[in-house]
């Protein structure tokens, strides 16, 4: 597991934010192509944190959220996840299906499949953008969807990732449609420390101290 001594300076964090902007820009374009609706995106915050802090970052730990998780394979390994608060997940469902589950118990096979498809498109588009930027082979494996309280969803991501020395890139996102309906979420990109340093070097940024 990572400790608090994994430090990234202003130059490294600028490169991480640039990767986040381009990666999520590609993901938003893919979402627009899927839904036939135009979207704008904002990234209010990008942080690098040790993996143990992830469950405390993504909203109220007791609120219900929907997480779509995928391991990363290739030249860079790790995990990737997009976590939606429940109301944002409902907004996504309405965009795709014209209706949405009112409660967790109302999620049927169609709604679960739609969310898996959204997660697959968002995560894969993000990883493809990073791959193109760094000229590295990076790809995500088939997604798994989890619906639970935020603490349980994020803890499951941590449990998958913490066997290796990793660093979590926690990217707060806000996606707006043309009617200014906001879809909030957290994008978690959790590569190994070596993998992130490799991506930074490919972008011309020296390895973090």
Secondary structure of 46-69 in HEC code, one letter for each residue: EEEECHHHHHHCCCCCCCEEEEEE
* Per-residue pLDDT at 97: 86
In this predicted structure, the answer to whether residue 209 has a pLDDT above a threshold of 60 is: no
* Per-residue pLDDT at 136: 93
Write down the mean pLDDT value for the chain.
81
What is the pTM for the complete model shown?
0.79
Choose the weakest-confidence range: 72-76, 117-121, 164-168.
164-168
Q: Tell me the pLDDT tens digit for each residue of 186-196.
A: 888 888 888 88
Contact indicator for 173, 24 with CB cutoff of 8 Å: yes
CA gap 133, 130 in Å, rounded: 5
CA gap 35, 155 in Å, rounded: 30
The CB-side HSE value for 157 (13 A sphere, CA atoms) comes to 42
Q: Which of 136, 147, 199, 195 is nearest to 167 (CA)?
A: 195
Q: How far is CA 63 from the centre of its chain?
A: 18
Phi, psi for 191 (deg, rounded to 5): -85, 165
Rg (CA), the chain: 16
Query: For residues 60 and 62, which has the higher predicted lDDT (pLDDT)?
Result: 62
In this predicted structure, the answer to whether residue 133 has a pLDDT above a threshold of 80 is: yes
* Per-residue pLDDT at 79: 87
Please return the burial class of 176, using the count of CB atoms within 10 Å of its CB with bins 0-12, 13-18 and 19+: middle
Q: What's the mean pLDDT in 28-39?
A: 78
CA gap 140, 6 in Å, rounded: 25
* Per-residue pLDDT at 107: 93
Q: Tell me the pLDDT tens digit for each residue of 138-175.
A: 887 888 889 998 888 888 877 766 666 777 887 888 77
Share of the chain above pLDDT 70, in %: 89
Q: Which CATH architecture has domain 10-202?
A: 3-Layer(aba) Sandwich (3.40)
Per domain, the residue ranges of the chain are 10-202
* Per-residue pLDDT at 4: 42
Contact indicator for 24, 171 with CB cutoff of 8 Å: yes
């Amino acid at each position: 597991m990572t400790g608090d001594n994994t430090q990234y300076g202003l130059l490294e964090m600028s490169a991480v934010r640039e990767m986040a902007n381009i990666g999520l820009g590609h993901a938003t374009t893919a979402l627009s192509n899927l839904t036939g609706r135009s979207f704008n995106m904002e990234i209010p915050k990008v942080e690098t944190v040790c993996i143990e802090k992830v469950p405390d970052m993504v909203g109220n730990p007791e609120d219900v959220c929907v997480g779509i998780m995928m391991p990363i394979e290739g030249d860079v390994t790790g995990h990737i996840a997009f976590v939606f608060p429940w109301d944002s997940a409902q907004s996504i469902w309405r965009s795709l299906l014209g209706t949405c589950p009112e409660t967790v118990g109302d999620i049927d096979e169609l709604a679960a499949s739609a969310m898996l498809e959204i997660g697959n498109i968002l995560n894969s588009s993000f990883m493809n953008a990073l791959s193109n930027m760094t000229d590295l082979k990076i790809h995500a494996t088939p997604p798994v969807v989890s619906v639970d309280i935020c603490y349980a969803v994020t803890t499951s991501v941590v449990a998958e990732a913490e066997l290796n020395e990793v660093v979590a890139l926690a990217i707060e996102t806000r996606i707006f449609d043309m009617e200014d309906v906001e879809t909030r979420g957290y994008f978690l990109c959790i590569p190994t420390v070596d993998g992130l340093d490799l991506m930074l070097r490919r972008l011309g940024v020296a390895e973090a101290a």
